[in-house]
Amino acid sequence: MTKKYDVEIPVLIVGGGGAGLTSSILLSRLGIESLLVTRYPSTTHVPRAHMLNQRSMEIFADMGVDSQIRAKGAPQEYMSRIGFLSGLAGGGPKNGHGRRIGSIEAWGGGYTDPEYVAASPQAAANLSLRRSEPVLKKHAERYDHAAIRFNHELVGLEQDAAGVTSTVLDRGTGETYTVRSRYLLGADGGRTVGELAGVQLSGPEKIMTLTSMYLSMDLSPYLDEAEDAVFHWIFNPDHPRHLGWGAVLVPEGPEWGRKSKEWVLHVTGEGMDASQPEKMVQWAREAVGLPDIDIEVLTIAEWDMGGYLADDFRAGRVFMLGDAAHKVPPAGGLGLNAAVQDAYNLCWKLAAVLDGRAGDALLDTYSAERRPVNQHNLDTAMQAAPAQFGAAEVMGLSPDKSAEENWAALRLFWEDGPGAVERRHAFTQWLGNLTLVFHQHNTDFGYTYDSPAIVGDSTPAPAPLDAIRLYQPSTRPGHPLPHAWVDRAGERTALRELIHGGHFALIAGEDGHDWVEAATQIAEQRKLPLRAARVGLGDVDFVDTRLAWTKQREISTTGAVLVRPDGHVAFRSAASVDDPAAVLSAAFRRILHTDGE
Ligand SMILES: Cc1cc2nc3c(=O)[nH]c(=O)nc-3n(C[C@H](O)[C@H](O)[C@H](O)COP(=O)(O)OP(=O)(O)OC[C@H]3O[C@@H](n4cnc5c(N)ncnc54)[C@H](O)[C@@H]3O)c2cc1C
């Protein structure tokens, strides 16, 4: 009998970027077979998406790739701030060139900001996709559950009540084949799947067009004051026509700080043309103020800063992830992070449904939970992007002034004179606005879910101190589990590690034996991966020696918190109840959408 389809697989993943590769690893780890197809023969050559926030690093820790990412990424001491520099050329800092005009701490200041240290066991990391994608690819290929096919492109898709039939082109041979899957993950950056599945994208207009030059050059002699910056924002008075938005210079590694061999320079302005490398090299030399520097062009790309959001992240058996579902201006670095976090929300649900432990309606909560988060991301980034304008003006610089006049304005930052303190303070005030970009801790880390896969406890949501900038830990259902280092047998562990490997976690107080017993029994009956523990002081499984959990848990010694495999609290009880087994069973029925049982 001839086979109806060339490949039959539970999940087809389309796209081998951050969203697709993360999904592949997460599904494999949960024992779900998948096939990933992606259009190009290799991982990306484009060095975008370098900031990996704390939440993504927590997810990478769960996936077992955090240490490889960190080993290749910038050391924390080179990640503390964004530096504003005058042009690099001339006699160096002594005459103003290459001098730091100001700086602002970013993404937790290289894990020195106490708020960021208290919030997570993971520091943010700095490694662009060009170097992180190969790490993810290698890891994804290690699992027997996953087939990874580069140079294979989805060209057709039809779905019915039972599954999705896709047509894939093998670009190496030119032949097509069919894939039948129960579900399809559209992680293709918004290029094909959305249109084929009828997903509508809507969103704001573009903000600006930028040209990003990926260059190899030796800047080590010119960057005396700039070792510790995630990136440098350069305003070079020698070339007034570059002073509008300035130029953003991002080290790319493989060594870091001033020793970086590769750099990305983001510029904007009249007359740029990505198709003319010679012209753009000239532009780059002027922007940094090094007219004679040797530059090797690796790539140049022009792109529009803007955003969109899919109206629904689910279309039947097709799910949209990452840029396929949402795009944001890269003000704060939310794009790749959100892609990774989409996958973390969806994959445990898919695995539970495919294994028969949850009802299909659980999958509706993917869009119900991730769409509002990504709407907030988009709103944050659209608000943050314009906050980056106006630096030149507040420094007293203008394209309409001569180079001498602009240098005179800038000199007030390092020479005392009339108006110097006022100028410096005006710039400091302007830097404060940039917390919208570089301190988005509630947006990028504290996001919460509200859906039928969360059992609310009727407590009011905490009033946000600042919905973008300030993360407020809470165990209220829907919130991410607050971080606490706890100890067992002399070893320190992060409480969130209880969920690693796709586990639910039941965390009870010191006197919560009944909760632990009930949760363990239910998990056995339902064949659910679950870890249950009592945490606190005294006769407990994990000792809260720093009282970090006690301070944040918002339950009594007889209460319990149930955490989903994606780290979000699904249910909590402030104290003991008469029948914890009945209460927890009802909670699991609700969370897993098995109400018909
Ligand atoms: C300049 C810049 C800086 C940025 N900085 C940051 C940052 O610091 N932090 C951050 O989090 N984000 C950042 N971003 C955003 C980030 O790059 C994206 O949001 C993220 O890479 C999206 O990942 P993805 O997997 O969804 O899509 P992509 O990376 O676009 O991957 C999609 C994949 O699908 C493949 N594909 C497309 N069509 C098909 C098809 N028909 N069949 C098979 N395969 C297909 C593509 O070839 C590609 O490999 C930045 C973006 C820009 C432009």
- Give nearest CA residue, ligand 1 atom 26: 322
**If you measure from the C-alpha of residue 19 to the centroid of ligand 1, how many angstroms do you get, rounded to a whole number?**
8
CA distance 310 to 299: 30
**If you measure from the C-alpha of residue 168 to the centroid of ligand 1, how many angstroms do you get, rounded to a whole number?**
20
Which residues in the chain show pLDDT less than 50?
A: none
**If you measure from the C-alpha of residue 183 to the centroid of ligand 1, how many angstroms do you get, rounded to a whole number?**
21
Cα distances (angstroms) measured from residue 533 to each of 15, 428, 504: 39, 48, 11
pLDDT digits (tens, 9 = 90+) for 526-556: 999 999 999 999 999 999 999 999 999 999 9
DSSP 354-419: HTTSS-GGGGHHHHHHHHHHHHHHHHHHHHHHHHTTTHHHHHT--TTS-HHHHHHHHHTTTS--TT
- Four-residue CA torsion sign, 186, 187, 189, 192: negative
Question: Which atom of ligand 1 lies nearest, measured to the CA of 193?
Answer: 41
- Give nearest CA residue, ligand 1 atom 44: 38
**If you measure from the C-alpha of residue 335 to the centroid of ligand 1, how many angstroms do you get, rounded to a whole number?**
8
Residues of the chain by 3-state class (helix, strand, coil), percent to 5:
35, 25, 40
Does the complex come out with an ipTM higher than 0.95?
A: yes
Which of 336, 337, 437 gets mutated to test ligand 1 (max ligand atoms within 8 A of its CB)? 336
Q: Is 8 helix (H, G, I), strand (E, B) or coil?
A: strand
**If you measure from the C-alpha of residue 334 to the centroid of ligand 1, how many angstroms do you get, rounded to a whole number?**
12
**Domains of the chain and CATH, by start:** 7-49+128-203+307-380 (3.50.50.60), 74-125+208-305+389-433 (3.30.9.10), 448-592 (3.40.30.120)
Q: Is 348 helix (H, G, I), strand (E, B) or coil?
A: helix
Question: Which atom of ligand 1 lies nearest, measured to the CA of 40?
Answer: 47
**What is the reported pLDDT for 238?**
86
**What is the reported pLDDT for 225?**
58
Token pair listed for 439? 């301190």
- Give nearest CA residue, ligand 1 atom 13: 49
Question: Which atom of ligand 1 lies nearest, measured to the CA of 191?
Answer: 38
Which of 55, 151, 188 gets mutated to test ligand 1 (max ligand atoms within 8 A of its CB)? 188
Q: Is 367:375 a contact under the CB 8 Å cutoff?
A: no
CA distance 521 to 585: 10
Q: Which helix (H) or strand (E) holds 442?
A: helix 441-444
**If you measure from the C-alpha of residue 97 to the centroid of ligand 1, how many angstroms do you get, rounded to a whole number?**
36
Which of 21, 26, 39, 131 gets mutated to test ligand 1 (max ligand atoms within 8 A of its CB)? 39
**What is the reported pLDDT for 91?**
53
Instruction: Indicate the pairing of strand 262-267 with strand 201-202.
Output: unpaired
Ligand 1 shell residues, CB under 6 Å:
14-20, 37-40, 48-51, 129, 153-154, 187-189, 191-192, 212, 303, 322-324, 330, 333-337, 339
**If you measure from the C-alpha of residue 333 to the centroid of ligand 1, how many angstroms do you get, rounded to a whole number?**
12
CA distance 208 to 323: 18
What stretches of 158-303 show up as alpha helix (H) in DSSP? 193-197, 277-288
Query: Terminal CA-to-CA distance of the chain, rounded, Å?
Result: 39
Q: Which helix (H) or strand (E) holds 349?
A: helix 335-354
**What is the reported pLDDT for 205?**
74
- Four-residue CA torsion sign, 9, 369, 337, 448: negative
- Give nearest CA residue, ligand 1 atom 30: 189
Question: Which atom of ligand 1 lies nearest, measured to the CA of 37?
Answer: 43
- Give nearest CA residue, ligand 1 atom 31: 17
**If you measure from the C-alpha of residue 315 to the centroid of ligand 1, how many angstroms do you get, rounded to a whole number?**
21
CA distance 242 to 231: 18
**What is the reported pLDDT for 289?**
86
